[in-house]
Structure 1
Amino acid sequence: MAGRATSKQVRHALEAYESAHDPMDALSAARQLKEAAEALELAAVAELRHQGGTWVQIGTVYGTTKQGAQQRFRASLPHK
């Protein structure tokens, strides 16, 4: 499954957020969590596309069109 290392980063960032002792540490952990979650999302999209998933399927998940999904993710995916 895509993004195993990235899912570990999400868990680590979430743990850092939950254990933050002050607002600055919480903010830093929240930023790390957001970045790790975005990387996990992109890895999942890339894996779905690699396995033959369509842009229509991805668009459905996000409540958008095929074109909306392509605009959101295509430029960030590894090129074949």
Structure 2
Amino acid sequence: MAEGPELKRFERAVDVLAAVPDPLRRLDAMRTARERMEALEAAAVREARAAGATWKAIGALYGLSKQGAQQRFRGAVPADAEADGRAG
């Protein structure tokens, strides 16, 4: 599912990080990028759930079961959103 111009741009950005000559600067840039990606991932999970995506469908993207996806992203979706009938 991950293909297209977005992925190519992301790969170029990773190449830019890999080319940072100073290892500590590269490590700091990678840490910052990882934190931003994790926040983006959590937001995407919340949006997918709000749009009606099931935990099973989200888990399939990661090679996880429904339960595995719920455990991995437990903090990404507020508990009240899960209680309103979208628990599937």
TM-score by length of 1: 0.71
Q: How do 1:37-76 residues align onto structure 2 when only pairs under 5 Å count?
A: 37-76=37-76
> CA separation in 2, counterparts of 1:29 and 1:72?
25
* Cα distance in structure 1, aligned partners of 2:63 and 2:20: 34
Segments of structure 2 that go 5 or more residues without pairing to the other structure are: 1-9, 81-88
Q: What are structure 1's unaligned runs of at least 5 residues? A: 1-9
Distance 2:44 2:36 in 1: 12
Runs ≥4 in structure 1, deviation > 4 angstroms? none
Structure number with greater CO (CA < 8 Å, separation at least 6) is: 1
Please tell me whether the aligned partners of residues 58 and 69 of structure 1 are also in contact (alpha carbons under 8 angstroms): yes
TM-score (norm 2): 0.65
Identity of aligned residues (%): 49
Distance in 1 between residues matched to 2:29 and 2:45, nearest whole Å: 24
Tell me the distance in 1 between the aligned counterparts of 2:35 and 2:79: 21
Number of paired residues?
A: 69
Q: Does 1:25 align with 2:7?
A: no
SS in structure 1 of the partner of residue 64 of structure 2: coil
**Residues 55 and 66 in structure 1, CA contact (< 8 A), matched pair in contact too:** yes
Q: Distance in 2 between matches of 1:49 and 1:40?
A: 14
The structural deviation recorded for 1:19 is: 7.0
Q: Deviation string for 1:3-46 (max 9, x for gaps)?
A: xxxxxxx9xx86x8367441111110000011111111111111
